[in-house]
């Protein structure tokens, strides 16, 4: 191992995590050749597209980095075997969804992609290879990967006598919409492992731009559990403030004022205290369910119940918004035109995974509404996939509503009965509600599930108004 030096790294999984993470590593480490591989050819083609607007993911600051390093020391490829073979370090950043069938369905993480990636590394790696878990994984997954890798060496057909592996856990803490910022200036980098030498190799990569005091090293299991815990704590704060939002609405307190007052306490801090339609995104729900599964597995049922409540509250918050919309529109939305503003799970991303918009729209469709959906970045093809419905499903089910994708908010609001702000896109803060009040059908409603509009501005119009944590102005 003496001559071992990291020159080439590869990442399996060109998704929301693998793509931006490798782009920033390539930018900060011009001496390294970085290749991102994926089984999805279409995705790789999109990453290689000359049209930077056509990237598979939208992330502020990403296309600038891609235009600088792609083709120089950053590559996107489907040649998985070749790239693994040539790499000194392989990151695994494939998707890890919650299992839908079999043991642990609904809670446990489906490790099939991680396992198949480990098998590919086991088969194609040459020489010494450091394998880095980047995906969020259940505690003790490194054990599974280790077993697969070590068995490949023990296999009597294995002729690569110099083949050795070590495994590290290096969870990502990037939030979509600010991923590039989080990668370039992380709060901390966490590296878990048993082999100090390998830890140092990975640490050296990050030290090209991150201060060593921000790089924490732990054992493998602490690293894996820290990721789940961080996400559980963040999600818990959101459920906590959402629970308070409902109390605000009935008491006359204003949730924005409460979270500001609470967040000023330096022990609490001001972040992740915005009430909303419930958290979405690919990680929070999945990671908490995983924590619940782990607790149940070790018969720690009180702990499982404690964390499960964070999800139950989130579902409740989400559901109560669609119920409230129906209630305010005289108990029926059948044939009423409702404009949904925002479909992504938060602003500045085109990601819709677990977006609260999906269930709100589904509930309203179930109740017969005519929905118009606007989002600055999400494409109609994606919405169709998420709703699992083509446009105008009315023909199939009599009472069922219909939906349409719109690109002009003002046009969509003509004769609309209600507008619902689901995602806090900055452009929705600038809408001219006075102008809108003249084109909507009366009595018109604005439901602001993110509390981003100025109540005093709406008061000047004829529009009825409800916002999360503030209640109604009629
Ligand atoms: C994923 C996980 O969901 C998350 O838990 C983890 O923290 C990071 O990795 P993300 O990058 O957002 O997050 O997932 P996704 O955008 O779905 O990308 C995963 C990619 O892996 C896909 O492009 C998929 O085609 C690819 N993949 C999957 C492989 O290349 N090989 C496989 O065997 C399986
Ligand atoms: C999260 C974690 O923040 C990140 O560290 C981890 O690696 C992946 O999961 P992400 O899901 O991309 O990142 O976005 P995040 O900003 O955490 O928001 C998650 C959800 O919570 C969004 O739906 C957002 O709208 C919601 N949210 C966030 C609130 O409702 N209120 C808040 O105050 C903050």
Ligand 2 center–CA 73 separation, angstroms: 31
> What per-residue confidence (pLDDT) applies to 54?
83
Given a cut of 70, whether residue 396 has pLDDT beyond it is no
- Residue where a domain stops, chosen among 168, 202, 218: 218
> What per-residue confidence (pLDDT) applies to 144?
87
Index of the ligand 2 atom closest to the CA of residue 346 = 25
User: Could you give the number of structural domains in the chain?
Assistant: 2
- Asked if 338 and 418 count as a contact pair (C-beta separation under 8 A), the reply is yes
- Shared domain for 321 and 207, answered yes or no, is no
Which protein residue has the closest C-alpha to ligand 1 atom 5? 136
**pLDDT-above-70 percentage for the chain:** 96
- Shared domain for 333 and 209, answered yes or no, is no
Mean pLDDT rounded to a whole number for the chain: 93
- Shared domain for 65 and 203, answered yes or no, is yes
Q: Would the CB of 314 count as within 6 Å of ligand 2?
A: no
Q: How far is CA 248 from the centre of its chain?
A: 28
Long-range contacts of 312-317 (CB under 8 A, 24+ apart): 313/239, 313/242, 313/243, 314/235, 314/238, 314/239, 314/242, 314/278, 314/279, 314/285, 315/278, 317/239, 317/242, 317/243, 317/245, 317/246, 317/276, 317/277, 317/278
Domain assignment present for residue 293? The answer is no
> What per-residue confidence (pLDDT) applies to 397?
61
**pLDDT-above-90 percentage for the chain:** 83
334: which residues sit within 8 A by CB, 6+ positions away? 367, 368, 369, 399, 401
- Residue where a domain stops, chosen among 188, 218, 248: 218
- Residue where a domain stops, chosen among 218, 251, 272: 218
Domain assignment present for residue 436? The answer is yes
Average pLDDT score over residue span 160-189:
92
Place of tokens 């918050």: 317
Average pLDDT score over residue span 238-261:
97
* Nearest one of 430, 285, 290 to 345, comparing CA atoms: 285
Find the residues whose C-beta lies inside 6 A of ligand 1: 12-18, 38-40, 43, 93-96, 113, 116-117, 135-136, 172, 282-283
Q: Could you report the per-residue pLDDT of 206-216, keeping only the tens digit for each?
A: 999 999 999 99
Domain assignment present for residue 302? The answer is no
Given a cut of 70, whether residue 161 has pLDDT beyond it is no
CATH for 318: 3.40.50.720
The bridge status of strand 33-37 relative to strand 74-77 is parallel
Residue whose CB lies within 8 A of the most ligand 1 atoms, among 95, 183, 351, 353, for a mutation test: 95
How far apart CA 360 and CA 84 sit, in angstroms, is: 43
**376 SS3 class:** coil
Given a cut of 60, whether residue 33 has pLDDT beyond it is yes
Domain assignment present for residue 196? The answer is yes
Domain assignment present for residue 285? The answer is no
> What per-residue confidence (pLDDT) applies to 1?
55
- Shared domain for 49 and 187, answered yes or no, is yes
- The number of beta carbons lying within 10 Å of the beta carbon of residue 262 is 15
Residue whose CB lies within 8 A of the most ligand 1 atoms, among 81, 93, 97, for a mutation test: 93
Q: Would the CB of 273 count as within 6 Å of ligand 2?
A: yes
Given a cut of 70, whether residue 95 has pLDDT beyond it is yes
Beta bridge partners, 98, equal 109
Q: Could you report the per-residue pLDDT of 409-450, keeping only the tens digit for each?
A: 999 999 999 999 999 999 999 999 999 999 999 999 999 999
Average pLDDT score over residue span 296-322:
97
Range ranked top by mean pLDDT from 94-98, 134-138, 293-297: 293-297
- Shared domain for 204 and 317, answered yes or no, is no
Average pLDDT score over residue span 167-176:
94
* 283 is an active site residue: yes
Index of the ligand 1 atom closest to the CA of residue 120 = 33
- The number of beta carbons lying within 10 Å of the beta carbon of residue 312 is 11
Hey, what's the torsion of the CAs at 283, 286, 290, 292, to 10 degrees? Answer: 110
Q: Would the CB of 297 count as within 6 Å of ligand 2?
A: no
> What per-residue confidence (pLDDT) applies to 160?
67
Domain assignment present for residue 235? The answer is no
pLDDT confidence bin for 158, thresholds 50/70/90: low
How far apart CA 142 and CA 198 sit, in angstroms, is: 15
- Shared domain for 318 and 200, answered yes or no, is no
Which residues constitute the domain of residue 429? 311-472
Given a cut of 70, whether residue 148 has pLDDT beyond it is yes
């Amino acid at each position: 191992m003496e001559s071992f030096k990291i020159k080439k790294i590869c990442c399996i999984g060109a998704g929301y995590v693998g793509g931006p993470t490798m782009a920033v590593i390539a930018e900060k480490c011009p001496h390294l050749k970085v290749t991102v591989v994926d089984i999805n050819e279409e995705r790789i083609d999109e990453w290689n597209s000359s049209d930077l607007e056509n990237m598979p993911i939208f992330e502020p600051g990403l296309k600038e980095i891609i235009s600088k390093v792609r083709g120089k020391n950053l590559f996107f490829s489907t040649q998985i075997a070749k790239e693994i073979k040539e790499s000194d370090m392989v990151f695994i950043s494939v998707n890890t969804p919650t299992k839908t069938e079999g043991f642990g369905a609904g809670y446990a993480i489906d490790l099939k992609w991680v396992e198949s990636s480990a098998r590919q590394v086991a088969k194609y790696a040459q020489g010494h290879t450091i394998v880095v878990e980047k995906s969020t994984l259940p505690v003790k997954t490194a054990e599974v990967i280790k077993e697969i890798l070590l068995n490949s060496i023990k296999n009597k057909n294995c002729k690569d006598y110099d083949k050795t592996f070590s495994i590290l856990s290096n969870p990502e803490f990037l939030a979509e919409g600010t991923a590039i910022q989080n990668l370039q200036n992380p709060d901390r980098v966490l590296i878990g492992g048993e082999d100090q030498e390998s830890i140092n190799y990975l640490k050296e990569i990050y030290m090209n731009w991150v201060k060593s005091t921000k790089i924490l090293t732990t054992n493998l299991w602490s690293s894996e559990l820290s990721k789940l815990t961080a996400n559980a704590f963040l999600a818990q704060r959101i459920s906590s403030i959402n629970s308070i939002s409902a109390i605000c609405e009935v008491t006359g307190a204003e949730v924005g004022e409460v979270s500001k007052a609470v967040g000023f306490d330096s022990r609490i801090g001001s972040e992740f205290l915005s009430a909303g339609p419930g958290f979405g995104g690919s990680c929070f729900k999945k990671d908490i369910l995983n924590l619940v599964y782990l607790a149940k597995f070790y018969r720690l049922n009180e702990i499982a119940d404690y964390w499960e409540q964070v999800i139950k509250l989130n579902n409740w918050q989400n559901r109560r918004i669609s119920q409230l919309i129906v209630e305010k529109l005289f108990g029926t939305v059948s044939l009423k035109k409702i404009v949904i503003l925002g479909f992504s799970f938060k602003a500045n991303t085109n990601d819709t995974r677990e977006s609260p918009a999906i269930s709100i729209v589904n509930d309203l469709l179930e109740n017969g509404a005519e929905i118009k959906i606007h989002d600055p970045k999400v494409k109609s093809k994606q919405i169709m996939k998420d709703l699992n419905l083509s446009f105008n499903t009315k023909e199939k089910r009599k009472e069922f509503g219909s939906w349409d994708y719109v690109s002009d908010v003002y046009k969509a609001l003509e004769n609309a009965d209600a507008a619902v702000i689901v995602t806090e896109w900055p452009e929705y803060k600038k809408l001219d509600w006075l102008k809108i009040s003249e084109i909507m059908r009366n009595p018109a409603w604005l439901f602001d599930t993110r509390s981003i509009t100025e109540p005093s501005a709406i008061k000047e119009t004829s529009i009825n108004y409800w916002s999360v944590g503030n209640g109604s102005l009629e």
